[in-house]
Amino acid sequence: MKEKISVVMPAYNESAHINSSIEETVKAFESFGYSWELIVLDDGSTDDTFERALRFAEKYPQLTVKKNPYNLGKGRAIKKAMHYVSGDYVLFLDADLDLHPNQFPALFDIMRLNNADIVIGSKLHPNSVVDYPLQRKLISWIYYLTVRALFNLPCHDTQTGLKLFRAQVLRDVMPRILVKAFAFDLEILVNAHHLGYKITEAPIVITKRRNYGRIGPQAILRAGLDTLAIFYRMYILRYYDRIDYYRRKNLAKEFRRMRR
């Protein structure tokens, strides 16, 4: 392929994994032979994740490393990382590398074969190989059923950290995004679906690199509230449609100003 791939890797307190994650990602994309770049966005880590990642920036010119001053949430980290993206396609990749970047070509092939705009790596795909605690699997299914009932999205799993987008999709969707944390991925997909972009899923292989603790009730409550807030903004307030209206209005004003 001739197009450029931008890999966005948000990281928070990933000191134990960030070195190998960067090395493995670079190794994978070098072997693919694509034009690529990697943006690592440290979301206010309290360990030395940023310093470790920054050392690789001298070694790899395709690597950009930035940091938030304090922890703002994965959603805000990715939004900031998008300011440094220059590729035609954008791959979201978690810094713990439970999902290896070697899986990228499969996502890209599925995107081309289905003429899709977004491909989601799905834990719930029947061909996925998932090493996940039973509790996480149950939560994934319950959340899928909730999302399906509220938004009728054409996908089973909105939260897995491996996602491939045409860059134009994110340029259209990011100005609408408000969620900072748990339901950030859902808000992107709901808005992309609302705008008519095609979403499809891909099987994935998850190899556990960390010990997963129990997801606490506070995290589950926050995810639920964020999900309901997205529903409220989309279908009750019609907030996302108003965002488009005001953007068009401001662009028209700017165009008239430039013609004077």
Task: Encode pLDDT of 6-33 as tens digits.
Answer: 999 999 999 999 999 999 999 999 999 8
Name the DSSP class of 215.
P
How many Cβ atoms from other residues are within 10 Å of residue 211's Cβ?
Answer: 6
Residue the block writes with tokens 């860059």: 167
The CATH number given to whatever domain includes residue 246 is 3.90.550.10
- Decide: helix, strand or coil at residue 161: coil
The DSSP call for residue 99 is B
- State residue 132's pLDDT score: 74
3-state secondary structure of 97: coil
User: Can you give the residue range of the structural domain that contains 57?
Assistant: 4-259
61 vs 180, residue with greater confidence = 61
Please, are residues 84 and 39 in contact by the beta-carbon 8 Å criterion? yes
Q: Considering its fold, how many domains does the chain have in total?
A: 1
- Name the pLDDT band for 258 (thresholds 50, 70, 90): low
In tens, the pLDDT along 97-156 reads 899 999 999 999 999 999 999 999 999 898 999 877 778 788 889 999 999 999 999 999
The type of residue at 124 is: L
- pLDDT of 213 reads 47
CB 99 within 8 A of CB 122: no
Lowest mean pLDDT among 54-68, 135-149, 214-228, 230-244: 214-228
